[in-house]
C-alpha cells in the first residue's frame, strides 16, 4: 500500500474515531455554557456598577433621571436573559447526556450530582422558578434603592445602593417550589439581584467543571488513541509534534493548583532554516551583482539638471533669528537637498557643476528600496547593513560616476568595498537619563554600565589627538558631554555592523531595555510620581512657562512641574532586583523566539512602563489598565471589566473579603477612565488610582514570575480561573 493510501485511510480513521467525536461534542456543548456564562457576567457587571455607591448615587440623582431609568431597564433585560440562558443550559445538558451517555455509568453519576447540587438547592430552584415567573406572569416588581445604615456606637454609617426585588410581591405568586419559596422567605424584605446571580453562576460553573473532568476521565482512552493516530499521521506527512508544558501561576500572595499538561505547542519547535544564499562576507552572488549594477546604471541615466522656483516669491520676511550662515568655504561636500523643482515635482539634488544643480526625481528612492530589500536577504548584509547605508553609498557612487571620463568601479563593487571598509566591531552607548549604577552588570544580551569621568576623559584625549587644530571646539564638545551624560548609566549594545546599522539596531534594543528596567523603578508602583528614567533626550520633564504682563508689570516664570526622580542602583540593589524578576525580564529584550505568553507579558510590561513616564494620573491609568488587560483577557471578545476585576482579585487575594476589595478598586479604575478628562480628580479618586497602580504592578510581577511555566496566555488565565472553583470548594 502506498504512503498516500495509508495517509488517506488513517485520516478517515481519525475523523471517525471515538476521541474525535467526543471532542466535537464537547465543542458543541460549550456554546450553551457560553450563552449562560456571558449572560450571567453581563448581569453581574451591570449590578456591580449600580451597587457602587458613587455610581448608584449618580444614577439616582434627579439630573440623571433618564440614565437611571435606562440602567434599571437594562438590569431587568439582563435578568431575563440570565434566567432564560440558565434553563436552556439545563435542558441542553440533560439532552446531551441522554443522547450520548444513556447506557453508561456516567449518566448515573450525572443524575446523582444534579440531585445533590440543584434538586433542593434554594438559590438554584429560585432561579429556575424565576424563569417561569417571568415567562408566565411578567417582570417581577423591582426597585433601585439607596440605603444608609448607621454603625452602632459610631459616628458614621454604611451607604448601599443596588437593584432588588420585594419579597412580599414575589410571594403573591403561587408557582414557587418549596426550596425557592424558602429562599425568598429567608431573604427578608428584599432579594438583591446581584447576590443570587453571583451565587447561582458559581454553582453552575462548579458543576460543569466537575462534568468536564468526568467526561475527560471517561474518554481518556479514546483521546489517547486519537493522539496516537494523529502522531502516526504526522509521521507519514513528514511533520513532527512536541508536548508543551503548562502549570498554574505562582505568586507570593496565593497558593497555586497542581501543574497540568497541555497538548502540542510551538515553544519547542525549531526555527526554520536560513534560506539566504551562502556567500562570503562583503561579496554578492553573480546574479545579484548583475541586478545591482543594472539598477545603478538605470538610475544614473535618469540624473538631470534641476531648476528650482524662486523661494522668496509670494513670501514674506521671517523674524526668526539666523542661527548659522553657510558659505562655499564652510561646506565640505555638496549637500543633499530635498524639495520641489520649478514644475512642482519632488526632487533630490546632490550634484553641482559650476552654477548648475543636478539630481533625480524623488521616486528613485523606491527603486533603491527594492534593491536594498534584495541585498538584505543575504545573511551577512542582514546583520551588518542598513537601508540608509545602501542609499548613501548609492548617492556617492552616482556623484563619482556622473559624467566620469575614466572607467569607474561598478555599483556592486562600490557597495562591496564600502561594506568591507565600514563594517566593524562597534559598541553603541545609549545614555539613560536619571539612572545611576554603581557598577556594570549584564542584562540579557546587553550591558548596563556607568558613563564615568575616566571614560569621558579618554574619549576627549582621542578627540584632541585626531583634531589638534580644533582644540577649543573639542573642549567645548566634551564639556557639554560631561554636563549632559557623565555619571548616568548607559545601555551598551555590541554589534558587528556599519555605524548606521549599529545605531538603528542599538537604539531599538536600548529602548526596550530601558522600558523593561523602568518597570522595576521604585516609582513604577506609585501613581503620584512619574518616572524620569528614559533614553537621554526622550525623558518626560513637564515644565511650566508663563508670561504675566500688565501696564506697569512684567514677569516670566519657568520651572519643572515636579522634580525628576533620580534612580540610583547599587550592587546590592541590582542583586535584589535580579532575584525578584529582573533576571526573567532580561530574557524579554528581543521578541524573537519567545512563546505566546512571554510575548504577552513583554508587551504588558513595556506598556505599563511607558505609562509610568506620564505626569497625568488618568493618562497613566489608561496604560495600566491596558497592560493588565493584555495578560488577563484571552481575547477581545471576552467581557473586559468583569474578567479583569475577577482575575485580578483571584490573583491578589485569598479570601472573599480581600477579593471584593480588589474587584471594587478595579471597577473604580474603569469608572475613572470612562470619565477621563471630564472632571478634576477627587482625593478619593487619587487614592483609588494609587491602589490600582500597586495592584496592577503586582499582577504583572506574578505574570513575569510564571514566565517559564506557561507557553500560552490561555493556559495562564485558565489556571487563574480554576482558583475560583477551588476557593468555592474550600
pLDDT tens figures, 228-246: 888 888 887 776 543 344 4
Whether residues 385 and 515 fall in one domain: no
pLDDT tens figures, 542-558: 777 888 898 888 888 88
Whether residues 90 and 207 fall in one domain: yes
Whether residues 396 and 449 fall in one domain: no
Q: State the pLDDT at residue 326.
A: 46
pLDDT tens figures, 657-690: 899 899 989 998 998 888 766 567 888 889 999 9
| 53-62, 225-234, 258-267, 432-441: range with lowest mean pLDDT | 258-267
Whether residues 527 and 623 fall in one domain: no
Whether residues 340 and 401 fall in one domain: yes
Q: State the pLDDT at residue 241.
A: 47
pLDDT tens figures, 332-365: 566 788 888 888 888 888 888 777 888 888 888 8
Give the residue numbers spanning the domain of 486: 426-535
Whether residues 20 and 160 fall in one domain: yes
**pLDDT band at residue 275 under the 50/70/90 scheme:** very low
Whether residues 190 and 293 fall in one domain: no
Q: Say how far residue 461 (Cα) sits from the centre of its chain.
A: 45
Contact by Cβ (8 Å): 206, 725: yes
Distance CA 386, CA 389 (A): 5
Q: Is the pLDDT of residue 158 over 50?
A: yes
What average pLDDT does range 494-510 have in this prediction?
95
Domain-located, residue 561: no
Distance CA 415, CA 381 (A): 11
Distance CA 368, CA 360 (A): 12
Whether residues 491 and 417 fall in one domain: no
Q: State the pLDDT at residue 162.
A: 80
Domain-located, residue 579: no
pLDDT tens figures, 8-45: 888 888 888 898 889 988 888 899 999 999 999 999 88
| 79-88, 469-478, 514-523: range with lowest mean pLDDT | 469-478
- The contacts found for 152-156 with CB under 8 angstroms, 24 or more apart, are none
- Residue ending a domain, among 378, 399, 422, is 422
Domain-located, residue 712: yes
Give the CA dihedral 197, 199, 200, 202, nearest 10 degrees: 120
Q: State the pLDDT at residue 133.
A: 92
Q: State the pLDDT at residue 511.
A: 95
Domain-located, residue 547: no
Q: State the pLDDT at residue 148.
A: 66
Whether residues 724 and 604 fall in one domain: yes
Say how many domains are in the chain: 4
Distance CA 505, CA 726 (A): 47
Domain-located, residue 1: no
Domain-located, residue 556: no
Residues of the chain with pLDDT > 70, as a percent, come to 87
Q: Give the CA radius of gyration of the chain.
A: 35
Q: State the pLDDT at residue 315.
A: 66
Q: State the pLDDT at residue 677.
A: 62
Domain-located, residue 458: yes
Whether residues 305 and 392 fall in one domain: yes
Distance CA 630, CA 608 (A): 10
Whether residues 710 and 692 fall in one domain: yes
Whether residues 409 and 442 fall in one domain: no
- Residue ending a domain, among 422, 454, 483, is 422
Residues of the chain with pLDDT > 90, as a percent, come to 49
Q: State the pLDDT at residue 157.
A: 60
**pLDDT band at residue 278 under the 50/70/90 scheme:** low
Q: By three-state DSSP, how is residue 226 classified?
A: helix
| 132-146, 573-587, 693-707: range with lowest mean pLDDT | 132-146
What average pLDDT does range 297-304 have in this prediction?
91
Helix axes 193-218, 65-101, angle to 10 degrees: 20
Amino acid at each position: 500500500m502506498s504512503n498516500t493510501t495509508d495517509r488517506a485511510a488513517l485520516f478517515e480513521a481519525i475523523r471517525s474515531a471515538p476521541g474525535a467525536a467526543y471532542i466535537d461534542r464537547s465543542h458543541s456543548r460549550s456554546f450553551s455554557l457560553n450563552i449562560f456564562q456571558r449572560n450571567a457576567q453581563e448581569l453581574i457587571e451591570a449590578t456591580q456598577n449600580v451597587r457602587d455607591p458613587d455610581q448608584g448615587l449618580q444614577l439616582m440623582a434627579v439630573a440623571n433621571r433618564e440614565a437611571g431609568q435606562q440602567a434599571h431597564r437594562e438590569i431587568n433585560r439582563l435578568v431575563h436573559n440570565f434566567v432564560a440562558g440558565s434553563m436552556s443550559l439545563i435542558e441542553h445538558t440533560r439532552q446531551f447526556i441522554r443522547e450520548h451517555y444513556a447506557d453508561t455509568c456516567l449518566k448515573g453519576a450525572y443524575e446523582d450530582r444534579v440531585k445533590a447540587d440543584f434538586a433542593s438547592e434554594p438559590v438554584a430552584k429560585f432561579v429556575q422558578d424565576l424563569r417561569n415567573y417571568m415567562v408566565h406572569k411578567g417582570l417581577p416588581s423591582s426597585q433601585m434603592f439607596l440605603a444608609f445604615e448607621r454603625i452602632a456606637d459610631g459616628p458614621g454609617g454604611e451607604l448601599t445602593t443596588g437593584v432588588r426585588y420585594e419579597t412580599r410581591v414575589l410571594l403573591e405568586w403561587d408557582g414557587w417550589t418549596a426550596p425557592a419559596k424558602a429562599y425568598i422567605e429567608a431573604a427578608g424584605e428584599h432579594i438583591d439581584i446581584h447576590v443570587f446571580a453571583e451565587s447561582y453562576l458559581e454553582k453552575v460553573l462548579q458543576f460543569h467543571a466537575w462534568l468536564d473532568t468526568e467526561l475527560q476521565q471517561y474518554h481518556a482512552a479514546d483521546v489517547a488513541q486519537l493522539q496516537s493516530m494523529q502522531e502516526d499521521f504526522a509521521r507519514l506527512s513528514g511533520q513532527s509534534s512536541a508536548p508543551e508544558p503548562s502549570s498554574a501561576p505562582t505568586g507570593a500572595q496565593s497558593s497555586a493548583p497542581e501543574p497540568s499538561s497541555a497538548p502540542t505547542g510551538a515553544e519547542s519547535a525549531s526555527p526554520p532554516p536560513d534560506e539566504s544564499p551562502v556567500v562570503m562576507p562583503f561579496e554578492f552572488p553573480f546574479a545579484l551583482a548583475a541586478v545591482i549594477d543594472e539598477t545603478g546604471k538605470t538610475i544614473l541615466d535618469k540624473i538631470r539638471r534641476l531648476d528650482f522656483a524662486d523661494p522668496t516669491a509670494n513670501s514674506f520676511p521671517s523674524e526668526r533669528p539666523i542661527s548659522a550662515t553657510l558659505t562655499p568655504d564652510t561646506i565640505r561636500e555638496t549637500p543633499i537637498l530635498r524639495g520641489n523643482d520649478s514644475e512642482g515635482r519632488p526632487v533630490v539634488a546632490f550634484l553641482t557643476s559650476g552654477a548648475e544643480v543636478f539630481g533625480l526625481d524623488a521616486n528613485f528612492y523606491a527603486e533603491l528600496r527594492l534593491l536594498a530589500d534584495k541585498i538584505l536577504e543575504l545573511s551577512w548584509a542582514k546583520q551588518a547593513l542598513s537601508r540608509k547605508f545602501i542609499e548613501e553609498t548609492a548617492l556617492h557612487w552616482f556623484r563619482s560616476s556622473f559624467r566620469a571620463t575614466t572607467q569607474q568601479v561598478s555599483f556592486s563593487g562600490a557597495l562591496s568595498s564600502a561594506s568591507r571598509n565600514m563594517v566593524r566591531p562597534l559598541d553603541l552607548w545609549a545614555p539613560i537619563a536619571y539612572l545611576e549604577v554603581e557598577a556594570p552588570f549584564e542584562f540579557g544580551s546587553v550591558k548596563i554600565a556607568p558613563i564615568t569621568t575616566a571614560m569621558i576623559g579618554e574619549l576627549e584625549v582621542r578627540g584632541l589627538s585626531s583634531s589638534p587644530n580644533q582644540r577649543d571646539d573639542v573642549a567645548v564638545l566634551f564639556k557639554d558631554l560631561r554636563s549632559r551624560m557623565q555619571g548616568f548609566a548607559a545601555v551598551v549594545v555590541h554589534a558587528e555592523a556599519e555605524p548606521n546599522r549599529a545605531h538603528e539596531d542599538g537604539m531599538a534594543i536600548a529602548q526596550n531595555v530601558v522600558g523593561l528596567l523602568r518597570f522595576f523603578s521604585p516609582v513604577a508602583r506609585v501613581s503620584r510620581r512619574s518616572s524620569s528614567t528614559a533614553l537621554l533626550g526622550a525623558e518626560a520633564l513637564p515644565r511650566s512657562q508663563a508670561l504675566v504682563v500688565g501696564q506697569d508689570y512684567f514677569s516670566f516664570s519657568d520651572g519643572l512641574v515636579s522634580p525628576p526622580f533620580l534612580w540610583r542602583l547599587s550592587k546590592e540593589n541590582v542583586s535584589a532586583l535580579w532575584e525578584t524578576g529582573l533576571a526573567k525580564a532580561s530574557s524579554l529584550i528581543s521578541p524573537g523566539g519567545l512563546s505566546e505568553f512571554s510575548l504577552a507579558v513583554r508587551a504588558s510590561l513595556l506598556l505599563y512602563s511607558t505609562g509610568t513616564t506620564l505626569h497625568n494620573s488618568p493618562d497613566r491609568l489608561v496604560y495600566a489598565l491596558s497592560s493588565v488587560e493584555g495578560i488577563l483577557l484571552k481575547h477581545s471578545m471576552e467581557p473586559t471589566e468583569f474578567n479583569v476585576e475577577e482575575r485580578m482579585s483571584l490573583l491578589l487575594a485569598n479570601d472573599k473579603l480581600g477579593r471584593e476589595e480588589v474587584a471594587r478598586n478595579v471597577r473604580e479604575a474603569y469608572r475613572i477612565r470612562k470619565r477621563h478628562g471630564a472632571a478634576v480628580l477627587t482625593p478619593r479618586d487619587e487614592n483609588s488610582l494609587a491602589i490600582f497602580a500597586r495592584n496592577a504592578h503586582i499582577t504583572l510581577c506574578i505574570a513575569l514570575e510564571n514566565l517559564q511555566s506557561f507557553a500560552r496566555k490561555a493556559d495562564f488565565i485558565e489556571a487563574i480561573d480554576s482558583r475560583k472553583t477551588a476557593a468555592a470548594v474550600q
